[in-house]
Structure 1
Amino acid sequence: MEKARTYRLKRLWFLVPGVIALGLTWLAQLSPTATETVYARGIYPWISSIWGFLPSLVSWSVAQWAVVAFLAFCAGWFAFYIMALARGRGERGLVLWKAFATMAAVASVGYCIFALMCGLNYYRLTFAEDAGFELRESSTEELVALCENLATSMNEEREAVASAVSLSHNGVIHNAENAVNGEVEGADESLPDSTLDNTDAYAAIPDEFALAQGGFEAYAVQAVEDMRSLAEIYPVLSRPLYSPPKPVLFSEVLSYLDIAGMYFPFTVESNINVDGPFFTIPATMGHELAHQCGFMREDEANFIGYLSCKQSADPLTRYSGYSLAYDYALSALIRTDREAAVAVNGTLSDAVRADRMARAEYLKQFEGPVAEASNAANNAYLKANQQTDGTRSYGRMVDLLLAEARQSD
C-alpha cells in the first residue's frame, strides 16, 4: 500500500503543468489586449524561438518523426499495460492506476507545451486590429472588382513565370477555346466544366521554374525572407527566429487527410505537403509561417500568407499568393453572383486554368471518408479553440482581402 501511495503522489506532480496551462488559458480569454501585450508580443516570440532552435537547424521535419515516435510509444504503452493487467492478479488496481497516471501525465505536459507554443495565441488581438484593417460589409461590386484584380494579377504573374522558363514546346502551348475552369477550392458549388488541350504541358511550367530556382529548399529560404520583409511593414510579425518550412516525407498521407500544411507547436516547425502541384506551395509556406509568428486563426494565416507572397521578388511566389486569394474571393462571389463569377473566371489565361485543373485532378484522387474525417476533426479543433464557426472561418479571409483593397485605393 505504501508503494502504491508513493507512486500516486509522484505521478500527481505531472498534472501541475496541465493545471497551470488551463489557468493561463482562462486568463488569456479574459483580456485579449493583455494577452497581446504580455504574451503574444512579449513572451511567445522568445520562448518559441528558443524551443524551436534545435529543430530549425536541420532541413528535414523533426515533427514527422516525433509523431511516429509518439504513435510507437502509444502502441508500446497499450501493449505493456495489457500484459501487466494479465499478469498482475492481486495488483491490477495499481496497474490501472499506473496506466491512468502515465496517460494523464503525458496529456498534462503535452497540453502545457501546446498552450505555451501556440494555444494562448488564439485569444490575442486579431491581425486586422493590429494592422488597422477595417472589416465591414462590402457590396457585390467591390467583390467583383477584387476578383477581377486578382485574376489579372494571376495572369500577369503566370506569364512572368512562363517567360522566365522560355519553353516553346514546339508550338504545343497555344490558344485554347475560351472556357471556364470547373473547380474552385472552397466553393459551395462548381462553375461550368471546361476542357483544355495540353493541360500537362501548361501545368509543368511552374514546377520547372521552381526546380530552376533551387526547388523546395530555395523557396523555404525565400518564404522566410518574405516574412521578414513583411514584418518591416507589420512589426507584429517580428520574431527572433523564423524556422524555415520543412517538407514532409509522408506527404501523400497528408493529401489523403486533405492537409496542405501543418504548424507543429511541439517543435515550432512549419510542415509542408510537397506531393501536389508546386505553385500552391509558396502560399502554404506563408500560411504556416504566419502560425509560427503567432497568428493561429486560419483566416488570418491565409491573409498573412497572401501578403507575404504578393510582395515577394519571385513571380511564382506572387502567383501562388494571388491564387490562394482568388480561390476564396471567387468562392464568395459564386455564392453572391454566379454569373459574375463565371464572367471573371472566363478571363483567366489558358495557363492559369490549366494549373487549376491540374490541382483539381490531383485533389480528386484523395476524396473520400478519410478526408471527410480529417476535416471533421479539424473543425472540432477550431471550435475547441474558440473559432466558433469551425472551418467556415476560412471564408473570413475575403473580408480581409476587401479591407486591404480599400486601404490600397
Structure 2
Amino acid sequence: MWTKERECSVETSWWRRILRLKRCWLLTALPLGLLLEAAAAGNQNFAEWYATNFYPGLSKTGNLISGLLPFSLGEWVVIFSAIAAVVFLVFQAVQLIRKKGDRLFCTARLFLNLFCAAGLVLLAFALSCGINYHRISFAESSGLEVRESSREELAELCEALTEKVNALRPQIAEVNGVATPPASFSEMGGEAQRAFSALSLQYPLLQDGYGAPKTVLLSRGMSWLNITGIFFPFTFEANVNVDIPKYNIPAVMCHELSHLRGFMREDEANFLAYLACKNSASLDFQYSGYMLAFIYATNALYEVDKEAYSRIFNRLDPGVRRDISCQSNYWKQFEGPVADTATSINNGYLQANQQDDGVKSYGRMVDLLLAEQRLGE
C-alpha cells in the first residue's frame, strides 16, 4: 500500500538513486566534447595535428566498416533515431503518468538520459568532423594566395570557364536535350575514387584509401531540404542525392568525398570537387566540375558586372544553357517554407562551426578559383 510516508521517502532519496545508475559516467562525454571543440577553436595547430594524424585512421576504419553495407547506413541511423526518439518520449510520458509517487526520480532520469545522449553525440561529432572545421585552410596548406581580386580578374576567370564548358558540352551524352552521363552510379562512384587517388598525388593531404559514395533512398526528401549530398560523420559515409539532374552528380560525389577526407569547409569542399573532376579522365566528370565552377563564378560576376555577365551568357553553347535551365527548373519546384527552414538551419550550423558568413561561405569558392588562376599566369 502506497502511503504519504512512502512517497516522502522516495522523493527525498531520488538523487541518491540517480547517482547509483551506472550510466552516470557517460555524463563525462559532454564536457569532453566541449573541451575538444574549444581546444580546436583556440589552437589551429592542434586541429591540424588531429586532422592529419588521428582523423585519417579513425575515418578510414569507420568508412571501411560502413562500406561493408551496399546501402547508406547513415540514412537508416537517421530514420531509426527519429523513431526511437518518439518511442522514448512516449515511454517517458507514460512512466510519469503511471508512477505518481516517483515522478522526481523519473524526471531526473529523463534528463540524465538526454544529457548522456547529447554528450555522446557531441563527442562523436567533435571526433568525426567538428575539430576539422578549425584546421589550417586548404589554401594555406597548398600555397594558394587568396586575396581581393579585381572585376577584370573575375571576368577573365568566367571567360576561361565558358570556353571549357562550351568545348566539353558537345561531347556529353544527353537525354531530352539535357546532359545525362550514361554511367551508372556505381561506375561514377568508382571514377570519383580514381579522381581523388590521382589528386592525392598532387596534394598528399587528400589521403587515399576511402570507399565510394552512396546513394540516398530518400533523395527526393533531400531535395525538399535543398540538400544535394551529405557527409554523415557518425558512419563516415559520403551520401549523394540521386534525384538531382544527373550531370551534377559527379561534382556532388567529389564534394562529399572531400568532407570524408577531413576538409569540412564548404568552399574548400567545392574547390576540391572541382579539382578532382577537372583532372578526371572522364569527360562527364570534367564537365560536372567545370559547370560547378562556372555557376559560382558567373553568379559572382553578375553581382558586380551585369553587362559582362550578359556578354558571357550569350556566348554559351545551347546545350549548356539547357542544362542550366534544367537545374534552375528542378530546384524551383521545391521553393517554399520547408526549403527556407532547412536553409536557415544549415546557416546556423555553418555559423556555429565558425563559417561566419553562413551559407554565403559557399561563394568563397570563387576566391580559390581566382587564386588557382593566378598560379597559371
TM-score for both structures, normalised by structure 2: 0.94
2:212 to 244, 252, 255: 244
- The aligned residue for residue 201 of structure 2 is 232
- The aligned residue for residue 176 of structure 1 is none
Q: Counterparts in 2 of 1:196-345, with a 5 A limit? A: 201-203=176-178, 206-207=179-180, 210-211=181-182, 213=183, 215-239=184-208, 241-345=209-313
Find out whether 1:73 has 2:73 as its counterpart: no
Consecutive unaligned residues in structure 2, runs of 5 or more? 1-9
Q: How many angstroms does 1:3 deviate by?
A: 7.1
Contact in 2 for aligned 1:150/1:322 (Cα 8 Å): yes
Contact in 1 for aligned 2:14/2:104 (Cα 8 Å): no
2:170 to 159, 164, 177: 159
Partner Cα distance (2:30, 2:295) in 1? 39
Contact in 1 for aligned 2:14/2:105 (Cα 8 Å): no
1:87-134 C-alpha deviation (Å, 9 max, x unpaired): 010101111111111111111111111100000001100000111000
Q: How many angstroms does 1:6 deviate by?
A: 4.0
- The aligned residue for residue 131 of structure 1 is 142
| Same amino acid, percent of matched pairs | 41
1:363 to 331, 350, 370: 331
Partner Cα distance (1:144, 1:59) in 2? 44
Consecutive unaligned residues in structure 1, runs of 5 or more? 166-199
Any idea what SS the aligned residue of 1:267 has? Answer: coil
- The aligned residue for residue 380 of structure 1 is 348
Instruction: Tell me the amino acid that sits aligned with residue 257 of structure 2.
Output: L
Contact in 2 for aligned 1:158/1:315 (Cα 8 Å): no
- The aligned residue for residue 14 of structure 1 is 26
Partner Cα distance (2:25, 2:76) in 1? 28
Partner Cα distance (2:144, 2:45) in 1? 17
Instruction: Tell me the amino acid that sits aligned with residue 102 of structure 2.
Output: E
Instruction: Tell me the amino acid that sits aligned with residue 141 of structure 1.
Output: E
Instruction: Tell me the amino acid that sits aligned with residue 97 of structure 1.
Output: A
Any idea what SS the aligned residue of 2:231 has? Answer: strand
- The aligned residue for residue 144 of structure 1 is 155
CA RMSD of aligned residues (A): 1.4
1:328-377 C-alpha deviation (Å, 9 max, x unpaired): 10111001100100111111111111111111111111110000000000
Q: How many angstroms does 1:50 deviate by?
A: 1.2
Instruction: Tell me the amino acid that sits aligned with residue 47 of structure 2.
Output: T
Partner Cα distance (2:288, 2:323) in 1? 11
- The aligned residue for residue 120 of structure 2 is 109
Instruction: Tell me the amino acid that sits aligned with residue 45 of structure 1.
Output: P
Q: How many angstroms does 1:235 deviate by?
A: 0.7
Q: How many angstroms does 1:28 deviate by?
A: 1.2
Partner Cα distance (2:194, 2:108) in 1? 50
Partner Cα distance (1:260, 1:8) in 2? 45
Contact in 2 for aligned 1:245/1:271 (Cα 8 Å): yes
Partner Cα distance (1:106, 1:327) in 2? 41
Contact in 2 for aligned 1:243/1:268 (Cα 8 Å): no
Q: How many angstroms does 1:201 deviate by?
A: 2.4
The alignment covers a number of residue pairs equal to 365
Any idea what SS the aligned residue of 1:263 has? Answer: strand
